[in-house]
Amino acid sequence: MSISLFNGLSGLSSYQRMLDVISNNISNVNSHGFKAQSFNMVENKSQTVRQGSSPTEDLGGTNPIQVGYGVKAGSVSADFTQGTLESTNRTLDMAIQGDGFFVLKDSAGSKNFSRVGNFALDSTGYLVDQGTGYRVQSAQGNILIEKDAPLNPKASSEVSIRGNLNAATTFPNGNTISTNIQVLDSRGEEHKVSFVLEKTANLSWKMTASLPDADGVLSDNLVEGITFNENGSFAGVTGTGSGDNKIIATFNGLATPQEITFDLGTVGGFDGLTQLGGDSTASAVEQNGYATGSLLNLSVKPDGTLVGQYSNGQRQNLAELQVATFSNPEGLEKTENNMYIESSNSGQPVYGKALSGRAGSVLGGKLEASNVDLTKEMALMIVAQRGFQVNARVVTVSNEILQEIAGLVR
């Protein structure tokens, strides 16, 4: 009789534990990055009342007689399937589409792992988890963004010229084509450089550059031998020395000359300058210099690269998020705030970057939702409730029988 009472109690304990897991899943149905857990019960050990016997010449064999000792908790397993990605419109909210984990370091220097990229910059510029203040890691350590540091100017070193040069233009006294562009010196100051294109032969042109006296002087202002193939595609620049494919400017207030090379297109292609019929449309369309800029915003690429967007229109790679994967993520030990730490059965973390191996991609402006299936959990809750009820009934009946037995001795 004590076995039935023990069995009922083991059932109560196990179904209570099952309900604990279910209730935790339900309570975290809206917790970002939460992974649902499943509870598995297994049969407890059994008492052998009689051993089995082998068949003999005169008697058949008998099976063992065993009475079970109820049920016990077998395992609690986490479901690491991908949760839905929810848009937040915060540029520093990040989600991983894949098996990777963000890596964060706490105040003790220990590494924590999370699927929730609810990040922000603190007052000192460190990228941190908003809930804990743990610092987000790159391969080099803490990610520090110098929010107030300017992006230094870059002097123009290349100018792109695109468009058509009318093949019908005559020479040596034909029409010329003029264009101009603002280039920047090493201080980030703009200077207007003008260009005049003039046909010199059937398939050849030259270009002369000029600069206002107030801006500086050009010690090399000529590009000769801008040639084309008979089909009108760009053939290259044949000029050498002072007629090669660059100019040299010395801007007022600066001692060092600045060399500017021209991108006139791909040799044999039609992506730059061409010599075809029709109007001349050639113009200077782009240069690669920029002025001083201040940081306006941050974004993240799918490979986990943090990109700074500056007031001068430039984008600069500032840091790269470290992503960790595990051979057995179900073996990770949960702590709090939807974070995990390495355990003896999780395997050691494999550090890398997004878009490599199983790490997955990083998506900005999104957070991963809980993967709890609420309908399933409600159904399991009913199962747990009924299991608890029938085991409570076993305890009640066992107790009543024990009371009857106790009454026999009176």
Same domain, 138 and 70: no
Q: At which of 287, 312, 340 does a domain end?
A: 287
In a domain, 233, yes or no: yes
* Interval 102-154: pLDDT, tens: 999 999 999 999 999 999 999 999 999 999 999 999 999 999 999 999 999 99
Q: At which of 222, 257, 287 does a domain end?
A: 287
Q: At which of 287, 313, 333 does a domain end?
A: 287
Which of 142, 109, 112, 141 shows the shortest CA–CA distance to 346?
112
- Judge whether residue 91 has pLDDT over 70: yes
In a domain, 59, yes or no: no
DSSP state of 211: -
- Judge whether residue 285 has pLDDT over 70: yes
pLDDT of residue 72: 84
In a domain, 58, yes or no: no
Q: Which residue has the higher pLDDT, 7 or 295?
A: 295
pLDDT bin (cut points 50, 70, 90) of residue 391 is confident
pTM (2 decimals)?
0.81
Instruction: Kindly report the average pLDDT of the chain as a whole number.
Output: 93
- Name the residue range of residue 341's domain: 85-147+300-368
In a domain, 184, yes or no: yes
* Interval 28-55: pLDDT, tens: 999 999 999 999 988 888 777 888 888 8
Tell me phi and psi for residue 4, to 5 degrees. Answer: -65, -40
Distance CA(374)–CA(392), nearest Å, equals: 27
State how many domains the chain has: 3
Q: Backbone dihedral region of 41: left (phi > 0), alpha (psi from -120 to 50 degrees) or beta?
A: beta
Using an 8 Å Cβ cutoff, are 223 and 210 in contact? no
Compute the average pLDDT of residues 192-219.
96
Q: Which residues pair with 112 in a beta bridge?
A: 104
Same domain, 163 and 282: yes
Compute the average pLDDT of residues 200-208.
96
Same domain, 91 and 126: yes
Which of 48, 72, 74, 75 shows the shortest CA–CA distance to 62?
48
Q: Which residues pair with 177 in a beta bridge?
A: 197
Same domain, 143 and 164: no
**CATH number, domain with residue 176:** 2.60.98.20
In a domain, 186, yes or no: yes
Same domain, 265 and 334: no
Same domain, 262 and 240: yes
pLDDT bin (cut points 50, 70, 90) of residue 346 is very high
In a domain, 338, yes or no: yes
Same domain, 91 and 191: no
Using an 8 Å Cβ cutoff, are 139 and 305 in contact? no
Same domain, 361 and 377: no
Could you tell me the CA-to-CA distances from 375 to 29, 40, 200, 368, 378 in Å, in that order?
11, 19, 80, 19, 5
- Judge whether residue 1 has pLDDT over 60: no
Compute the average pLDDT of residues 262-270.
97
- Judge whether residue 395 has pLDDT over 90: no
pLDDT of residue 61: 85
- Judge whether residue 228 has pLDDT over 80: yes
Same domain, 358 and 375: no
Which of 59-73, 109-123, 159-173 is predicted with the least confidence, judged by mean pLDDT?
Answer: 59-73
Distance CA(87)–CA(94), nearest Å, equals: 10
pLDDT of residue 264: 98
* Interval 291-344: pLDDT, tens: 999 999 999 999 999 999 999 999 999 999 999 999 999 999 999 999 999 999
Using an 8 Å Cβ cutoff, are 392 and 8 in contact? yes
Q: What is the DSSP string of 34-84?
A: ---EEEEEEE--EEEEE--B---SSS--B--EEEE--EEEEEEEE--PPPP
